[in-house]
Amino acid sequence: DGYFYQVVRQCRYSSKDLQGIEFIDSYVFNKAEYVRFNSTVGKYVGYTEYGVKNAEAWNKGPELAGELGELERYCKHNAPIYYSA
């Protein structure tokens, strides 16, 4: 009954030190993750044939610069809220 597409963005906080934050952006199609950006790795990694092609293209394009900025904008900005909970 159709297709399932999902993007999961998460910040993983391992300590109160802002250097210990990891940003992960996963792309899922029909419940299978096909490509992921991990701020620790610093680039996209593909897990399927389609994902590998996307990762190669996105690592050479403006998408990579956008993802690299998300650690600061999205995770580190919200860290005080996370740590106060």
Structure tokens belonging to residue 57: 């293209």
Class (C level, CATH) for 5-84: alpha beta
pLDDT at position 19, please?
Answer: 77
Report the interhelical angle of 49-60 vs 62-70 (nearest 10°). Answer: 90
The per-residue pLDDT for range 48-74, each reduced to its tens digit, is 999 999 999 999 999 999 998 888 888
Taking 80 as the threshold, does the pLDDT of residue 17 lie above it? no
Taking 80 as the threshold, does the pLDDT of residue 7 lie above it? yes
pTM for this predicted structure? 0.84
Residue 42 dihedral angles phi and psi, to the nearest 5°: 85, 15
